[in-house]
Amino acid sequence: MPYDHLFSPLSAPGLELPHRIALAPLTRNRAVGTVPAEINAEYYGQRATAAITISEGSSPAGVGHGYLDIAGVHTDEQQAGWKHVADRVHAEGGRLWVQLMHCGRVAHPRFTDGVTPVAPSSVLAQGEVWTPEGQTPFVVPRAFETDELEGLKQDYVQAAERIVAAGGDGIELHAANGYLLHQFLGTNTNTRTDGYGTDAAGRVRFVVEVAKATAEAIGAEKVGIRISPEHPFNDMQDEGWEETYDLLLRELAPIGLAYLHVLEPAPDEALPKTRFARERWTGTLIGNRGFGEAYDYARADELIADGTLDLIAVGRDFLANPDLPERLKQGAELNTPDEDTFYSRGPEGYTDYPTLAQSQA
Ligand SMILES: Cc1cc2nc3c(=O)[nH]c(=O)nc-3n(C[C@H](O)[C@H](O)[C@H](O)COP(=O)(O)O)c2cc1C
């Protein structure tokens, strides 16, 4: 069999997995009105042969929405929608982990019922966001007051509890790609002087608190975290990233999280961020090429064989190939992802990519 290591099972705390190929979190803007529905259950059910079916970034708070029709995890209706999705993924034999993505400063009043976005500091992100009315600049966020941070932490805790109540298998804290938790870690986005900024110890503090609080609430083996050191997406800067992420990983390690998920922002053969993480993380490590070239699966197989990674998360190839593991196992051709429908509406480019069997029929 090709890719022997990609297709070896994994047994780790919180993770009993048949192979090593996870679905990467993918925003698809198809949760109409922020509530997952049948079309979303169908999409995730189609991708339930992933080792872990990680969901689209989903907001733990109303003020955390930064895109049209991304799912939320803060109302009873959304929770019921996630139950529908979890039930479908389980019926197909899979495991659903929901990514909690609070957009922070890159949220937009168009998607927050007019509420001004909140962030670690009042620093405008350069760039624009798509709205139904056209491209619109980001807005200047309001900085959280220190006494609001407990409430923000509770937003994550309650969202995690909602996912477990909905039958979800776990949550992934999105601390990557310039969203709220990354904004606490970043040097350009965090100018706080209240103990939650200033230096590496201050910048990692809130992220560690959220990881601890969610782990205490639902069990550490149900919580994963995604990071992207030095990823410039969403106008981020991580100056002196080694110091920040060294401390972050040392403080996260004792919590016993299910996994660490690392995006390698400018992937090259050396994989410096992935290796940096591996040296500091004895638990399960998921790698992803972070908007770079799609995975070379033979290379991924080697990285699992030599212990650099435990799993890979695959975005675009999985988006276009609902049965990606089966196709890789058979050495079959892959469907090509259609970028025009990544963030569009309805089933086209969402639930209508054929499986191998359907293509052959
Ligand atoms: C359409 C699309 C939506 C994405 N949405 C998210 C998201 O919600 N959360 C996240 O952490 N990353 C998101 N990403 C990044 C992917 O998880 C992944 O890091 C990226 O696609 C690179 O992996 P790939 O080369 O396998 O596609 C998105 C990427 C794409 C293409």
Residue 10 has pLDDT above 90, yes or no: yes
Return the pLDDT at 291: 45
Q: pLDDT tens-digit profile of 107-148?
A: 999 999 999 999 999 999 999 999 999 999 999 999 999 999
Is the shortest distance between the CB of 160 and ligand 1 below 6 Å? no
Among 21, 27, 47, 59, name the best residue to mutate to test ligand 1's pocket (greatest count of ligand atoms within 8 A of Cβ): 27
Q: Looking up tokens 């937009």, which residue turns up?
A: 108
**DSSP secondary structure, 186-233, as one string:** -TTT----SSSSSSHHHHHHHHHHHHHHHHHHH-GGGEEEEE-TT--T
Single out the catalytic residue among 43, 156, 179, 353.
179
Determine contact, residues 253/281, Cβ cutoff 8 Å.
Answer: yes
Q: pLDDT tens-digit profile of 178-215?
A: 999 999 999 999 999 999 999 999 999 999 999 999 99
At 57, is the secondary structure helix, strand, or coil? strand
Return the pLDDT at 289: 81
Residue nearest to atom 13 of ligand 1 (CA): 26
Is the shortest distance between the CB of 294 and ligand 1 below 6 Å? yes
Confidence of residue 27 (pLDDT cuts 50, 70, 90): very high
CA 24–ligand 1 middle distance (angstroms): 6
Q: Which domains does the chain have, with CATH numbers?
A: 10-360 (3.20.20.70)
pLDDT top residue among 283 and 269? 283
Q: How far apart are CA 357 and CA 256, in angstroms?
A: 40
Confidence of residue 2 (pLDDT cuts 50, 70, 90): confident
At 22, is the secondary structure helix, strand, or coil? strand
Q: How far apart are CA 41 and CA 96, in angstroms?
A: 11
- Alpha-carbon separation of residue 17 from 54, 140, 217 (angstroms): 13, 43, 23
Q: pLDDT tens-digit profile of 32-62?
A: 999 999 999 999 999 999 999 999 999 999 9
Q: How far apart are CA 80 and CA 189, in angstroms?
A: 35
Mean local confidence (pLDDT), 74-97: 98
Alpha carbon of residue 301 to chain centroid: 22
Return the pLDDT at 295: 66
- Its pTM stands at 0.98
In this structure, which amino acid lies at residue 283? G
Q: pLDDT tens-digit profile of 313-343?
A: 999 999 999 999 999 999 999 999 999 999 9
Q: Looking up tokens 């080694």, which residue turns up?
A: 242
Is the shortest distance between the CB of 267 and ligand 1 below 6 Å? no
Mean local confidence (pLDDT), 15-24: 98
Is the shortest distance between the CB of 230 and ligand 1 below 6 Å? no
Mean local confidence (pLDDT), 161-174: 98
179 tagged catalytic = yes
Return the pLDDT at 183: 98
In this structure, which amino acid lies at residue 97? W
Is the shortest distance between the CB of 34 and ligand 1 below 6 Å? no
The first and second tokens of residue 243, run together, are: 């110091």
Summary mean pLDDT of the chain: 96
Under 8 Å CB-to-CB from 282, ≥6 apart: which residues?
A: 253
In this structure, which amino acid lies at residue 42? E
Q: pLDDT tens-digit profile of 214-270?
A: 999 999 999 999 999 999 999 999 999 999 999 999 999 999 999 999 998 776 778
Residue nearest to atom 21 of ligand 1 (CA): 315
